[in-house]
Amino acid sequence: MCPLQYCFHCYIKWLQSDTSIYLNSWRDIYASLFLVKCDAILNRANHWQGEKQTKMTKFCSGICLFFVLICVIWAPMLIYSSGNPTNIANPIIDVSIKIDIKALGGRLTLFKTTACEKIPWKYLKAYNDVDPLGYLGTYNVDDIQLICCQPDASTMWLIPPPVQSRFIQSLEREIPFEKMELILNWDFLRARPKGKELVRYESPIEHCPSVDDVKRVLNGTTNSFNIIDAYPKYFRVTGSGEVRRLEAAIDSCSDLRMRIPYENLPSCDRLLDICEGIYAARAEGELEVEEVLYWTLVNIYRSPHMLLEYTKPD
């Protein structure tokens, strides 16, 4: 209830008071400074600058957390290793790919083929040509396969002409949130696990061709249109029966360097005084003074040098 009460308090005070600035224009800064001041008081309440950390603090924060991390990391590994002590390769037995077009007139299959060759990774002679950046270097070669599908469809176009004609007319009608989409479907068949032998990956294609290009192909004016980046280069078929895109590893960080200038302030009393001055100017009806103080606070946050000067300890 506290956050809700705070919001009600902010709205009611803004409605009742004469002010020249918008709602919540500077309350975010004021709330942030309040939290910074509370953190500074709590951090210095039991620990002064240069004081050595106690053994109890080290024990609770160090040894206990170390054992907790060990349990979190090793417990699942022990459970899964005892349940399935052997790691058996589960290769793809059969693959099919399908491209559908979806519009107001329904959904039609443009392309479908089951003529896909499955090449084990260990039989490939040129690893560098297929995986130049080494994304698959950490995986077991028995778990990696190269899927090569034929460029020609294995099924014929059996859509009746009346249905095709009405579908082309539906492409001409543009309604918001009902645009033409191309949807890609991959079907992977494996021997295990039981009940989840067939796994499917379905995703809309981001870079779709224009409606005019699709209409020309359906009308027979042209023979083809181009689709750019129709599917990702790597798929990861999990043991739980899911198909995930295998993306490149991205280094993540806590973004501490962006938060240091605004959270690790030695003293924020001067900034809080400006915030209190905005309250006082609003209460006295000095709207010009209120707006001047507000923009002073904004300019302080814009300039690292001014922020450093205003937050120096007394």
% of the chain residues with pLDDT over 90: 0
Q: What pLDDT shows up at residue 302?
A: 87
pTM greater than 0.85 (yes/no): no
The band of 29, judged by pLDDT with boundaries at 50, 70 and 90, is: confident
Asked if residue 121 has pLDDT above 70, the reply is yes
- d(CA 217, CA 225) in angstroms, rounded, equals 7
Which residues lie below 8 Å from residue 125, measured CB to CB, with a gap of 6+? none
Question: What's the token pair of residue 243?
Answer: 């198909």
> What amino acid is encoded at 175 in this protein?
I
More confident residue, 122 or 314: 122
> What amino acid is encoded at 211 in this protein?
V
Q: Which residues pair with 103 in a beta bridge?
A: 106
Residues 102-113 have pLDDT tens digits of 888 788 888 888
| Under 8 Å between Cβ of 135 and 96 | no
CA distances, 299 to each of 226, 241, 259, 289 (Å): 51, 55, 18, 15
More confident residue, 128 or 19: 19
| Under 8 Å between Cβ of 20 and 286 | no
The mean pLDDT value of the chain amounts to 79
More confident residue, 43 or 121: 121
Residues 206-253 have pLDDT tens digits of 888 888 888 888 888 888 888 888 888 888 888 777 787 776 554 556
E-assigned strands of 193-255? 198-204, 235-237, 243-245
Residues 175-210 have pLDDT tens digits of 655 678 889 898 998 888 888 888 888 888 888 888
Asked if residue 123 has pLDDT above 50, the reply is yes
Mean pLDDT for 89-109 is 86
Q: What pLDDT shows up at residue 1?
A: 43
